[in-house]
Chain A
Amino acid sequence: MNGKDVTFLEDTFKKFYFEHFDLLHVPDDPNQREFGYQRFNGGMNRHISLKSDKELHLLLMQNKPSDVYCSNARYMFPNLPMSEKDWQNAELIFDIDAKDLRKEHPKNNTLIKCSECNEISELGESCPKCNSTKLLFTTLTCDDCIKSTKDEVLKLNKILIDDLGINEENIKIFFSGNEGFHIYVHKSEYENVGSRERAELSDYIMFRGGIPETFGFRKFNTNKSSLPKFDDVGWNGRLAKHLFQTKSNRSKISQQILSGGYALFQKKLEDFRDSIGIKIDPNVTQDIHRIFRLPGSINSKSGLTKIFVEDLKKFDPYTDACFIDDEEIEVAANCPIEFSLKKKKFGPFKNEQVSVPKFAAVYMMCKGIASSV
């Protein structure tokens, strides 16, 4: 990013923080958390300890960060190097991101950047200018992506409550600031479990590693009655609903499953991961030393804010998480596809100088498709 863009974004972010201190708070037990931040074009500064909202606000004003982070873990000595921090516990966090849900890039919402010649163009298999296949994909605002991500969050919540016994009040959903959601579980017995245990929880939620015996299909002497039933709890019940659709189908489909044999059923179970497993990012859940984007802070990948979601169904990230003002700004934009923010459509812009509200300018600059003039 060039120096002029950096200065513009730093000033814009700083103004946002100054005007929205009410959105930015240190979490519970702040003196046990590790904080970190990045600056535009800079590396990560972490192992920072902050004790109050005031110290956090000071950091934002002094350092003009592009991104701000805080650990879900609590440590005895959060500002020491990792091996000396003395890990105590960590909230359980799940990340559901639109990029992990889609099988292919949404055609109308994705642009490609060529790693060889830097050309930006509409979605394609190779660079239209130099034919290189070394491409970076960037997705712009996509309502369908957000809709499917929300559905996934709701499915996750149900498993957390019904299977894992988590109190609904302790589940908090945050929009990540780009194209996903972070689901925090507070005050649960899972806070004390380590990384390997969290990996197991991830596998459970993602429906990974199931064996036919779990679902009543033994190598020998299996009959229809042992296969999953509609009213079963946990994955057996969910699998039954997926397999049979209606109760009346159970007998017929069960017979087909039995005729297919053990190996085929095992293979099907693996395939069901894609259809019924929840698409969380397992690396996020099992990393107990990670620092997460701080709620209330801006995501420099988009200029949108990571924000608490009160009502998931009604939530529209492209309006509710877009806090930058609408002062008109001139930028040089190279955005071959349309995007939409605060219910307004922008683009396509073909390497042209345009006047857009600041929130749209920031969005494009963060996506690397516009520069200050």
Chain B
Amino acid sequence: MIAIFKLSWYTIVMVNLGNDEIVKYPFLTEAGKYLNDLGFSLEQFGTDPDLKKIVDNAFERIITSSEGRIFKSDPSSNNSALPLEIFSFLIAVILLKLSGMNTLIRRFSLAEARRAEKFLEKDLMNHQDITKAKLSLQILQELFSVTVEKIDEEFTILVSDYLKHSINFHEREWKLINRKVTNGKVHLTPHETVRLVRKELDRHIYTKINSSSTPEMIIGFETYVDKLKQLAKKFEVKTVESKEFPPCIKHAIEVLEKGENLPHSGRFLLATFLLNKGQTVEQIAPLFKNAPDYNPKVTIYQLNQLSGISGTTEYKSPSCEKVKSQNLCFPVPACDTIINPLQFGRKRV
């Protein structure tokens, strides 16, 4: 028996979210409006001792996310007139905005995305409550423009939709070649379906937090905000860089030195890499002297184009993935942790 849920476009599906859903997907609410509707002002949270627990919770939620962990839900805490988890999310956003610490906002968005992902997956598989399954499909459709069809226990999405999301992953399992593909559709498990949109979910939450306005400092929030500013310093990263070229660049130079023909893609890689590393067109041009089809005028013209001197675009060095697909990658162990040749030899200290 094949059951297909194909969704039509609902204008604003989120209007009728119950508390159950908002607990799971708090980023779907309009924070200010939600608090107002329940008769709260932000100032109350700074002064009312009964609400201090919520601010503590919000602070804890940020700390948890900064450590790369997911904030655990406690369903019983949401049964009262004050759904603790919704409030703690909303206040956490306010604290983050007041701290202005982007690194914490990034960590918080990702942790919240991963938390929502778990609920989405569970809802997708909910056979008892069809409305829950439908809602999760609607979230996928409306937030991420992914139309998911459910066929028995499997989910399928259009190859073109799949690709728009999967290109954000670097793990090989997400490559199209490692998927069951038939008739223009990619087959996925519920876990994979939801995992596919994690980055967009993260981005959605991040953008939503970033685009919300920053309130004036709220009395009673100062200590929390100062602690967050201190915490963010922990995540500042300093790097050192070695002068050694990555193997793909060494290979390109070797080919040219031997007077062999380096394909256009190899020349593009070499030129953009060196330009991005700060070398000038005049420094780079002599490298191409040995190419069998060397023409000094054309070389200078093309280097000027790539550097942005002649055109409007300054070209960036291609990613490792692209270099690999052009058969120009000759990886060494130090390449394992990089996604662009420019990062080769960069180390955190």
Contact = CB atoms under 8 A, between A and B. Distances in A.
A82 B172 contact: no
A136 B160 contact: no
B345 interface: no
Given A115-B293, A136-B292, A162-B183, A210 B178 contact: yes
B259 interface: yes
B304 to A, nearest CB: 13
Interface size on B, as a range, is 20 to 34
Interface stretch (B44-52, B56-64, B163-171): B163-171
Contact of A165 (B166, B173, B180, B185): B185
A83 B185 CA distance: 33
A166 B311 contact: no
Contacts of A204: 175-177, 181
Contacts of B191: none
Interface string B135-174: 0000000000000000000000011100110110000110
Interface in A150-200: 162-166, 189-190, 192-193, 196-197, 199-200
Given A115-B293, A209-B172, A211-B173, A165 B178 contact: no
A83 B312 contact: yes
Contacts of B292: 115, 134-136
Interface string B314-328: 000000011011100
Contact of A136 (B173, B175, B293, B311): B293
A257 B13 CA distance: 51
A88 to B, nearest CB: 15
Contacts of B264: 283
Tell me what chain A mostly uses at the interface: helix, strand, loop, or mixed.
helix
A197 B167 contact: yes
A213 interface: yes
A203 B177 CA distance: 7
B160 A214 contact: no
Contacts of B181: 163-164, 204, 233-235
B182 interface: yes
B128 interface: no
B39 interface: no
A133 B159 contact: no
B160 A208 contact: no
A121 interface: no
A45 to B, nearest CB: 14
B177 A165 contact: no
Contacts of A209: 172, 175, 177-178, 324
Contacts of B322: 199
A196 B318 CA distance: 11
B175 A134 contact: no
A65 interface: no
Interface in B162-220: 163-164, 166-167, 172-173, 175-185
Nearest to A236: B180
Contact of B265 (A192, A235, A236, A283): A283
A207 interface: yes
Interface in A38-95: 81-83
A165 B172 contact: no
A134 B181 CA distance: 45
A197 B325 contact: no
A90 B292 CA distance: 34
Contacts of B166: 200
B313 interface: yes
Contacts of B172: 209, 211
Contacts of B180: 233-234, 236
A282 B183 contact: no
A203 B176 contact: yes
A299 interface: no
Contacts of A166: 184
Contacts of A201: 159, 163, 176
A202 interface: yes
Contacts of A135: 292
A233 B312 contact: no
B260 to A, nearest CB: 8
Contacts of A202: 325
Given A81-B312, A166-B184, A190-B160, A200 B175 contact: yes
A214 B178 contact: yes
A162 B184 CA distance: 8
A236 to B, nearest CB: 8
Given A83-B313, A134-B292, A197 B177 contact: no
Nearest to A232: B180
Contacts of A235: 177, 181
A196 B325 contact: no
Interface in A115-136: 115, 133-136
17 contacts: A164-B159, A164-B181, A165-B159, A165-B185, A197-B160, A201-B163, A204-B175, A204-B176, A204-B177, A209-B175, A209-B324, A213-B173, A213-B178, A214-B173, A233-B180, A234-B180, A236-B180
Given A162-B183, A214-B173, A282-B325, 9 more contacts: A82-B311, A133-B259, A136-B292, A165-B159, A189-B158, A203-B177, A207-B177, A210-B175, A234-B181
